[in-house]
Amino acid sequence: MFDDDIFEGTPEGRYFDIVFNANRNVVENELLNTIEKMSALELLLEEMLEGKDIENIIRNYIINNPEKIKERKINNIIESMGNILSQSE
């Protein structure tokens, strides 16, 4: 979906270049925000699927939807890069 030439490599590689070179406080805030969002999503799933094995449900979803996961992962990487870069200016 995304042309690697735009990023001078893969989106993941470019993300790590940015993370390792950006202001540490900005990166820490972005990572904490990401973890907070992930935590909220996990709690929502636990509430919605009360008593079910959430880890197994997530793992199976990843296995059964690799293209959707890849696309969302790239979108999240791009969003996170944008957040870091916009706060680093």
Report the CATH number that the domain containing residue 12 is assigned in CATH: 1.10.3350.10
Q: By residue range, what is the domain housing residue 71?
A: 4-88
Q: Is the pLDDT of residue 62 over 60?
A: yes
pLDDT (0 to 100) of residue 89: 72
Count how many domains the chain has.
1
Span 49-71, average pLDDT: 95
pLDDT (0 to 100) of residue 1: 46
- Quote the tokens at residue 72: 């969302």
Q: Mapping DSSP to helix (H, G, I), strand (E, B) and coil, where does residue 9 land?
A: coil
Q: Among residues 65, 39, 37, which one has the least CA distance to residue 54?
A: 39
Per-residue pLDDT tens digits for 8-54: 789 999 999 999 999 999 999 999 999 999 999 999 999 999 989 99
Q: What is the pTM of this model?
A: 0.81
